[in-house]
Amino acid sequence: MTVHPRSILIVLGLAFPIPAFAASAPGAPAPAQTATPTLEQTQALFTRALKMLPPSSVTKRLPAEYQSEERACIRELESLATGTRPDIPNACGYLSNRLRATDLELAEFYLRKACAAGEPVMCTSEGIMLQSLSVNGHNYREVARMFLLSACRSGDMSGCSYLADQYTGSDPSFPSDPPTALALLSKVCDTNKDKFACQRAKDLKKQKVQPGTIPEIPEMWSALMTLAMMPPNKLQEIESQLLAPMATSTNATPAAATPPAAK
């Protein structure tokens, strides 16, 4: 089955207007004056974003006792999307915290929403949780670094510290980059006067490391935040349109050749 990209945009538009998230999400870059993306480019961007995130099917495990908190979380996101004050601030973060003791995958799903609601410290917590999360053998370290970077650029210095750890070789799957680590640690040192960060920055300078620059927020971030702001049922609808057809085409087996008719 071929999915027409216009149907994806229709579903996205029914959920929330995309520009509302790109401007308000933590760490979101300033809008650039660029050409409007084509339908195919938008479809490809959201498909890549969905592949980077844990599946939303986890929400089907949400116990009934948490449904009122989930509704409060969704109302919080809807309020932010329309520019109004939410009835219960940080409702998504509260729900995530309640779920943490019993279901880490569910807790991660709603923590992601708390980050999208504009809480940089929640983005740091999300990045830390994603670093250790594994679903069906798949890890999420790449997208975890995006959450830490967003938190860092939004003013949460703990996000900068955790990201600096990544650039100093704590994660063997991530290439070491001492100049970027120094830039991050220097930011923490200058902002928070954190003695540990200042000492680490000093040690790197003793090794003749020159400070680099803190990475920019990638284009993918706006798509990730748009998806995070969606209600679970709308997100599942998007996943079914973008990912399910792809899985079907991947798993399809070629039809057996028809033998020639006997003469």
What is the pLDDT at residue 1? Answer: 38
Give the CB-side neighbour count of residue 27, counting CA atoms within 13 A.
Answer: 35
Asked if residue 250 is part of any domain, the answer here is no
The structural domain count of the chain equals 1
> Please, which residues bridge with residue 231 across strands?
none
Would strands 138-139 and 134-135 be described as parallel, antiparallel, or unpaired?
Answer: antiparallel
Asked if residue 18 is part of any domain, the answer here is no
CATH code: domain of residue 175: 1.25.40.10
What is the pLDDT at residue 174? Answer: 82
Asked if residue 13 is part of any domain, the answer here is no
Tokens of 216: 């920019």
Asked if residue 30 is part of any domain, the answer here is no
Structural domain for 228, as ranges = 64-240
Query: For residue 182, which amino acid is it?
Result: L
pTM: 0.82
CA distance 227 to 190: 34
What is the pLDDT at residue 30? Answer: 54
What is the pLDDT at residue 173? Answer: 76
Burial class from Cβ neighbours inside 10 Å (0-12, 13-18, 19+) for residue 165 reads middle
What is the pLDDT at residue 153? Answer: 95
Asked if residue 251 is part of any domain, the answer here is no
Asked if residue 235 is part of any domain, the answer here is yes
Asked if residue 52 is part of any domain, the answer here is no
Q: In angstroms, how far apart are the furthest CA atoms of the chain?
A: 89
> Please, which residues bridge with residue 178 across strands?
none
Asked if residue 124 is part of any domain, the answer here is yes
pLDDT, mean of each 10-residue run, the chain (263 residues): 46 45 52 68 91 93 95 93 87 96 96 94 96 89 94 96 90 87 97 96 96 93 93 91 65 47 49
